[in-house]
Amino acid sequence: MAYEASEIMTANALRWSNKVGNTLSSVRTYDDLLLVIADSIEYHKNNKQLNFGTIQFADMATRKGFVKNFDLFLIENPDTQQKKKMNDLLTDMAVGVSAAIAIRNLMKLTSGEITTYMTGNIWPNDVSKFQVSAFGFTDYNSSDIVVSSNIRQNFYGISLKKKPTVKSNDPTLINKAFSSAFEVNKEDNKEVYEKFNRPKTGLIAKLINTRTNYFAGIVKDAVMGNGTHKNKSIILEQDIKEVDFKKLQTPKNLSDVPSNDMQELFQSKKKDLTRFEKKRAYIDTKGFATNSDGKSNPNGYFDKGNSMTDPNSMRAFVNSKLAERPNPLWTEMMKIMDAGADVLGNHLINIVLKSKLYKEIEAKDLDNVNFQFALITGIGNVKDSKTGRTATISRAKTITLKTTLCGLDRIDNNYKGNYKVIQDIEATNKSDAAKVYFKLVKGSSPSIDVLDLELRYKGSFTPQPQFQAGITDTFKKLLDKECSGGPG
């Protein structure tokens, strides 16, 4: 697991009181943050046991991973790179102070002791009962930390996000490989499972087929001369092993099951390692077949010189195809998702907003224990200025699950009809070639945008694209107006 620095910084900030005029509320400057860091180092030096003190860990490995974030501040003469990393960690402490104030406000506990449980792959014993694995997610309860006062009957699960300024875009709520966002257990939801996982014709299979056929088709064009530079193919036919280009046919629909040859063009399992790099598939090749004189490149298609940006290169050709508007890949993916939007909509609402979390926890039948969940976005930043390093700590944004559920009820009551998926054409056209934006919309006449969704490729085209999701501004306004305390 990644030991996110802002989480341990928030835990340490929570040890400080939030009384007006006292410690936590008075942390405002760069030097103030250094004092909090110094106090945190001293605390962890004196509290090395897992179950002693107000910050609890599941095991020593987890404790070590989190506390390691403070090691840089113990270096006497840090170099330039270390100083930059320290600056990043101080920004995380600024975020932590912002979030800690919001958490204390949520708990209505401006002063007094709070115990923070650091979660991860393993949760501390006192809060392990709140772990929920459901709907295809081992971490469906996505609390980054769980906090409690001394009463130990009221627990608050905090999904902690961060951003540098109030005006910065809100961070996404989910970031998963695309198809994994639609994987569910059959016992959790039979209808969703069958629609998504049906062999060959299920939503996941069609999405995977579309990606395979689209990128295999680009490789085919690079070989057959449909993408050429100086009338030469980008990739030479003789350099592709065990694919019969004379019989090769692109499927009528991108979502059809790809042939073995199309699979090989995408997966590149049989490629010649003397001509192509081991770590790259054909679609990820950066170079091209020939030198400027038209002779075969003795270095093969390896990344040499400026081949990534050379207009003759495979990477430039792939990017040009992805930049096409409308784009066949995104168009087909949108069509598939919209065809399943009636089921997909409720599933996305659930996995992004955790709409069934309380029901899952209630099913555990935990007597005399109350659990509340909230999304808190800490807002803080540290940067260089003419007068030195300065810190900015702003009021965090808090959205409780209770507020979110209220908003979803309002939507169900006021916006009749099924969910649908629509492409955000304006945002997509402004984006780079390997990214597309769309929205999850509920109802018709009137309708409301509920989730902002994004698909993007990062570096390589063979893995699943990343899928990100967040709450739309329209939904945030509804929460604020109708559910007494939306984002704030």
Residue of 66 and 434 predicted with greater confidence? 66
Task: Print the SS3 string covering the chain.
Answer: CCCCHHHHHHHHHCCCCCCCCCCHHHCCCHHHHHHHHHHHHHHHHHCCCCCCCCEECCCHHHHHHHHHHHHHHHCCCCCHHHHHHHHHHHHHHHHHHHHHHHHHHHHCCCCCCCEEEECCCCCCHHHHHHCCCECCECCCCCCCEEEECCCCCEEEEEEEEEECCCCCCCCCCEEEECHHHHCCCCCCCHHHHHHHHCCCCCHHHHHHHHHHHHHHHHHHHHHHCCCEECCEECCCHHHCCCCCCCCCCCCCCCCCCCCHHHHHHHHCCCCCCCCCCCCCCHHHCCCCCECCCCCECCCCCCCCCCCCCCCCCHHHHHHHHHCCCCCHHHHHHHHHHHHCHHHHHHHHHHHHHCCCHHHHHHCCCCCCCEEEEEEEEEEEEEEEECCEEEEEEEEEEEEEHHHHHHHHHHHHHHCCCCEEEEECHHHHHHCCCCEEEEEEEECCCCCEEEEEEEEECCCCCCCCCEEEEEECHHHHHHHHHHCCCCCC
Same domain, 309 and 359: no
Residues 413 and 379 occupy one common structural domain: yes
Within-domain flag for 98: yes
Q: When comparing pLDDT for 50 and 291, which is higher?
A: 50
User: Per-residue pLDDT for 63 more than 50?
Assistant: yes
Within-domain flag for 327: no
Rounded percentage of the chain residues whose pLDDT exceeds 90: 53
- Of 79 and 323, the one with more pLDDT: 79
Q: What is the band of 104 on the pLDDT scale with cuts at 50, 70, 90?
A: very high
- Between 135 and 237, whose confidence is greater? 237
Note whether residue 215 is domain-resident. yes
Residue 59 and residue 171 in one domain: yes
Looking at the fold, whether 148 and 117 belong to one and the same domain comes out as yes
Do 178 and 222 have their domain in common? no
Per-residue model confidence as pLDDT tens digits over 340-357: 787 788 888 999 999 999
Per-residue pLDDT at 152: 65
Instruction: Looking at the structure, tell me whether residues 355 and 303 fall in a common domain.
Output: no
Segment 166-219, tens digit of pLDDT: 999 999 998 888 777 777 777 767 777 777 888 888 888 898 999 999 999 999
Domain assignment of residue 198, yes or no: no
Residue 62 has pLDDT above 70, yes or no: yes
Q: Does 332 reside within a domain? A: no
| Residue that wins the pLDDT comparison between 259 and 274 | 259
Q: Are residues 175 and 225 in the same domain?
A: no
Is 60 exceeded by the pLDDT of residue 32?
yes
Q: Is the pLDDT of residue 334 over 80?
A: yes
Model confidence pTM above 0.75: yes
Residue 268 lies in a domain: yes
For residue 53, pLDDT beyond 90: no
- Section 72-100 average pLDDT: 95
Is residue 306 over pLDDT 90? Answer: no
Domain that holds residue 101: 5-190+343-482
Confidence class of residue 299 from pLDDT cuts 50, 70 and 90?
Answer: low
Mean pLDDT (whole number) for 245-262 = 91
196 in a domain, yes or no? Answer: no
Question: Do 254 and 381 belong to one domain?
Answer: no
Among 273, 289, 322, the domain boundary falls at 322
In tens, the pLDDT along 146-156 reads 999 866 689 99
Mean residue pLDDT across the chain: 88
**Chain centre distance of CA 188:** 23
Choose between 418 and 448: higher pLDDT. 448
Residues 64 and 170 placed together within one structural domain of the fold: yes
Q: Binning pLDDT at 50, 70 and 90, where does residue 229 land?
A: low
The predicted structure's pLDDT at residue 386: 74
Q: What is the band of 230 on the pLDDT scale with cuts at 50, 70, 90?
A: low
pLDDT exceeds cutoff 70 at 225: yes
Tell whether 329 is covered by a domain: no
Instruction: Give the strand pairing for 55-56 and 115-118.
Output: parallel
Do 41 and 186 lie in one domain? The reply is yes
Question: For the chain, what is the domain count?
Answer: 2
Confidence of residue 488 (pLDDT cuts 50, 70, 90): very low
Q: Do 467 and 440 fall into the same domain?
A: yes
Same domain for 220 and 307?
Answer: yes
- 119-169 pLDDT, tens digit per residue, is 988 999 999 999 998 887 888 999 999 999 866 689 999 999 999 999 999
